[in-house]
Chains A and B, each alone.
Chain A
Amino acid sequence: MEDEQEKVVIHGLVCPRPLTHYETVLLGHGSGGKMTRDLIEGTFYPPFENPALMRGDDAAVVAQPEPGRLAISTDSHIVSPLFFPGGDIGHLAVCGTVNDLAMVGARPLWITASFILEEGLPLVILEHVTASMKEAAGEAGVDIIAGDTKVAERGKADGMFISTTGVGWVPSDRAVSGANAQPGDVVLLSGPIGDHGIAVLAARGELAFETALESDIAPLNDLVEKMFDSCSSIHVLRDPTRGGLATALNEIACQSGVAIQLDEEKIPVRPSVAAACELLGFDPLYVANEGKLVAMVPAEDAETILQAMRSAPYGEEACRIGEVEAEPSGKVLMRTAIGGTRVVDMLSGEMLPRIC
């Protein structure tokens, strides 16, 4: 060996070739130079492959689908841990934006995604997340047509943050808004509440118990299409994410200037979610969902729409949970199981586990 080394003749200075494959995200991946290019072509193009993205221009150029109105929504995603039972931040980024578009009656078409990556993030994690985004986008029928990557110094981002913007097309016969609830409307809910919040909490490993519960994360645009196919008279759609059902309904009550009257007994909560909430002192009404929607529809169409929901994906457990009334305006009330009535207020601040 030593003999061979001695025979090596060096002709001037040799610059070592830079590494071309890294195991982790480095600051250089956000430089805009060659490493950024490699990351885009190696990690983002393969899963997201579509003509508008692969053209590689500064902006994606797409054809307007049909004349009419566009819906645009933007959202940032921060979740700890990045992976939780039932999904990860990639599913969250796509489904969150798809669902926001669907909640105004839009058919989601395109998504853009901006990644803020923490220096040192294993690339395999990023690849796992982009694969999840591909899966969710495929299910929702949307293309991820533009994106951006920046790298934050180690310790300055929690693994990764993703911001997404979505564009959807709104058919002309749809008039959905949180301001459209009418007295007499029936309130429909697509399934049991609180799964996502409790699943993420359990995945953090802070709870002294384990649960087989999975996040309900899902794209709801197909469910919404099935609902509109059955009846176009839907007044309000909303996905009760952070802040839970109680906060979503309070927002609608204020926007529409109506009262919402709920029946405690009719609001579905899985036993594992109910038990976790009992232990922690949480109210499931305030726990986050990522694959549920609440709808306000005219009473005469409620049964038709409910049946359509039940035969659609993610709507199998849909049910009636209450109705819209004129007074007291801006308030959400609940008939308790034992026959009392109470106010369901908005969540104030962060939800905190109780002392005892």
Chain B
Amino acid sequence: MRYVTEYRDAGLVRGVLDEIHSTVTKPWVMMEICGGQTHAIMRHGIDQLLPSQIELVHGPGCPVCVTPLELIDKAIAIASQPEVIFTSYGDMLRVPGSGTDLFSVRAAGGDVRVVYSPLDAVKIARDNPDREVVFFAIGFETTAPPNAMSVVQAQAMGLQNYTILVSHVRVPPAIHAILGAPHNRVQGFLAAGHVCAVMGYWEYKPIAEQYGVPIVVTGFEPLDIVRGILHVLKLLEGGRAVAENAYSRAVTFEGNQPAQQLIDRVLEPCDRKWRGIGVIPESGWRLRREYADFDAETRFGVEEIRPQESPLCIAGQILQGLKKPYDCSAFQVQCTPENPLGATMVSAEGACAAYYRYGHRVSEG
């Protein structure tokens, strides 16, 4: 595969790893923001090849993991209604709400469908005019443009039966929350390449200056990740707190302007609750008033659902980089991918699932 195979070249990766080993002089704590990067690190075994002085902690960048419990309960309540076709990205189906999950709703007769894009959900709405079609619009800046586009398209097509259940989140406010926390240990960030492909990295410049931490835009293949780590390391060792780009084949400083304009047209900033972390000011997007007709929460009257989390789950501290999955008493015991207590064990990008799938048995063995 062009543009993938090259970035998995073992020789090139080892070369960068050698340079990391020869550059590091003292211990550093870095956070990879994105859950996709967490999985790539575990899947390729990158963490085992780093010098012991570099500690990687895993960030909150898993959209499935941070989607608050009440929103999942709202999704379940909507999906259970007989007139509804509930559409979602696949990995939301197994995330436990406070009582059940979307898979179980489907087994009980609910019409829950996996789609690969919200534009597919719009097509389903067009083809089923007598049904209410709802799309579960979660995610970071990466999925916001297609989700916004689906609303614009539905409006242009005059569809009355399409709504989205919105729980969008944004990376920069989360970084503020992590760096502003009293027990913060993170000294440098690998910023999420896909998010920056949409948003650029102009938003990170003032954060790097304000907190004195380097932030480097990083991709997802092994070579991208080790280059991102080396870049952060060099900035840390050189005492430079700036935002720079190690993923220039996909990311520019300004980002994708039409996509940003589309987001701005349909969505507006709002305070958002992050699962396990709490409310972060201005950290999310919701539908603008002009598009209120497309808001599933109001159409189905589910605004008042307020559930409780499992008391055992420490996903919130894991998502803030304060703890690791091994620190959790429920990890591998009460909490497994088959029976997850929290979303970090469910999603393909969740830190607990990554440790469970790729890591834990190596350390046992």
Asked if A63 is an interface residue, CB under 8 A from chain B, the answer is no
Question: Could you say which residues of chain B place their CB within 8 Å of the CB of A265?
Answer: 10
Contact B362 A208 (CB under 8 A): no
Question: Could you say which residues of chain A place their CB within 8 Å of the CB of B357?
Answer: 343, 345
Given A338-B45, A342-B44, A345-B357, decide whether A356 and B36 contact each other with a Cβ distance below 8 A. Answer: yes
Cβ-neighbour of B359 out of A259, A342, A356 (below 8 A): A342
- The binding surface of chain B is classed by DSSP as helix
Asked if B360 is an interface residue, CB under 8 A from chain A, the answer is yes
Contact B64 A355 (CB under 8 A): yes
Asked if A33 is an interface residue, CB under 8 A from chain B, the answer is no
Asked if A20 is an interface residue, CB under 8 A from chain B, the answer is no
Q: How far is the CB of A209 from chain B (nearest CB, A)?
A: 10
Contact B361 A278 (CB under 8 A): no
Asked if A80 is an interface residue, CB under 8 A from chain B, the answer is no
Asked if B4 is an interface residue, CB under 8 A from chain A, the answer is yes
Asked if B327 is an interface residue, CB under 8 A from chain A, the answer is no
- A275, A280, A327, A341 — most chain B CB neighbours (10 Å): A341
Asked if A320 is an interface residue, CB under 8 A from chain B, the answer is no
Contact B365 A355 (CB under 8 A): no
Which stretch, A162-170, A188-196, A216-224, A346-354, touches the partner chain B?
A: A346-354
Asked if B14 is an interface residue, CB under 8 A from chain A, the answer is yes
Of chain A, the residue at the smallest CB distance from B142 is A356
Cβ-neighbour of A356 out of B14, B94, B194, B360 (below 8 A): B194
Which stretch, B25-33, B84-92, B240-248, B259-267, touches the partner chain A?
A: B84-92
Contact A338 B49 (CB under 8 A): yes
The docked-state distance in angstroms from the alpha carbon of A204 to that of B103 is 20
The docked-state distance in angstroms from the alpha carbon of A356 to that of B62 is 10
Q: How far is the CB of B250 from chain A (nearest CB, A)?
A: 13
Contact B91 A338 (CB under 8 A): no
Contact B116 A206 (CB under 8 A): yes
Q: How far is the CB of B19 from chain A (nearest CB, A)?
A: 14
Contact A349 B89 (CB under 8 A): no
Tell me which residues from 286 to 343 in chain A have a Cβ below 8 Å from any Cβ of chain B.
327-328, 331, 333, 336-343
Tell me which residues from 252 to 286 in chain B have a Cβ below 8 Å from any Cβ of chain A.
none
Contact B116 A340 (CB under 8 A): no
Given A206-B116, A331-B365, A348-B338, decide whether A355 and B48 contact each other with a Cβ distance below 8 A. Answer: no
Asked if A231 is an interface residue, CB under 8 A from chain B, the answer is no
Instruction: Report the contact-size class of chain A (Cβ under 8 Å from the partner).
Output: 20 to 34
Question: Could you say which residues of chain B place their CB within 8 Å of the CB of A328?
Answer: 361, 364-365
Contact B114 A339 (CB under 8 A): no
Q: How far is the CB of A353 from chain B (nearest CB, A)?
A: 4
Q: How far is the CB of B177 from chain A (nearest CB, A)?
A: 21
Cβ-neighbour of B45 out of A274, A336, A355 (below 8 A): A336
Asked if A125 is an interface residue, CB under 8 A from chain B, the answer is no
Contact B139 A338 (CB under 8 A): no
Contact A343 B89 (CB under 8 A): no
Contact B10 A207 (CB under 8 A): no
Contact B348 A352 (CB under 8 A): yes
Contact A343 B1 (CB under 8 A): no
Q: How far is the CB of B147 from chain A (nearest CB, A)?
A: 11
Contact A354 B91 (CB under 8 A): yes
- B94, B120, B362, B364 — most chain A CB neighbours (10 Å): B362
Q: How far is the CB of A275 from chain B (nearest CB, A)?
A: 5
Of chain A, the residue at the smallest CB distance from B41 is A340
The proximity string for B residues 339-354 relative to A, scoring 1 for CB distances below 8 Å and 0 otherwise, is 0000000011100000
Q: How far is the CB of A147 from chain B (nearest CB, A)?
A: 31
Question: Could you say which residues of chain A place their CB within 8 Å of the CB of B43?
Answer: 336, 342
Question: Could you say which residues of chain B place their CB within 8 Å of the CB of A348?
Answer: 336-338
- A208, A265, A278, A340 — most chain B CB neighbours (10 Å): A340
Question: Could you say which residues of chain B place their CB within 8 Å of the CB of A18?
Answer: none
Asked if A12 is an interface residue, CB under 8 A from chain B, the answer is no
Contact A355 B143 (CB under 8 A): yes
Of chain A, the residue at the smallest CB distance from B46 is A340
Question: Could you say which residues of chain B place their CB within 8 Å of the CB of A339?
Answer: 10, 13-14, 45, 49
Question: Could you say which residues of chain B place their CB within 8 Å of the CB of A337?
Answer: 8, 10, 44, 222
Given A275-B1, A338-B10, A338-B13, decide whether A354 and B349 contact each other with a Cβ distance below 8 A. Answer: yes
Asked if B93 is an interface residue, CB under 8 A from chain A, the answer is yes
Asked if B233 is an interface residue, CB under 8 A from chain A, the answer is no
Cβ-neighbour of B94 out of A275, A327, A331, A352 (below 8 A): A352
Question: Could you say which residues of chain A place their CB within 8 Å of the CB of B300?
Answer: none
Asked if B291 is an interface residue, CB under 8 A from chain A, the answer is no
The docked-state distance in angstroms from the alpha carbon of A274 to that of B3 is 13
Contact A343 B142 (CB under 8 A): no
What are 15 A-B residue pairs whose CB atoms fall within 8 Å in the complex?
A206-B114, A265-B10, A337-B8, A337-B44, A338-B17, A338-B49, A342-B359, A348-B336, A350-B103, A353-B90, A355-B138, A356-B36, A356-B139, A356-B140, A356-B194
Question: Which residues on A are within 8 Å of B, measured CB to CB?
Answer: 206-208, 259, 265, 271, 274-275, 278, 280-281, 327-328, 331, 333, 336-343, 345, 348-350, 352-356
Q: Enumerate the 10 nearest inter-chain pairs by beta-carbon distance, A residue then B residue, closest first.
A: A340-B45, A328-B365, A352-B90, A348-B337, A353-B90, A355-B89, A338-B13, A342-B358, A343-B361, A336-B45
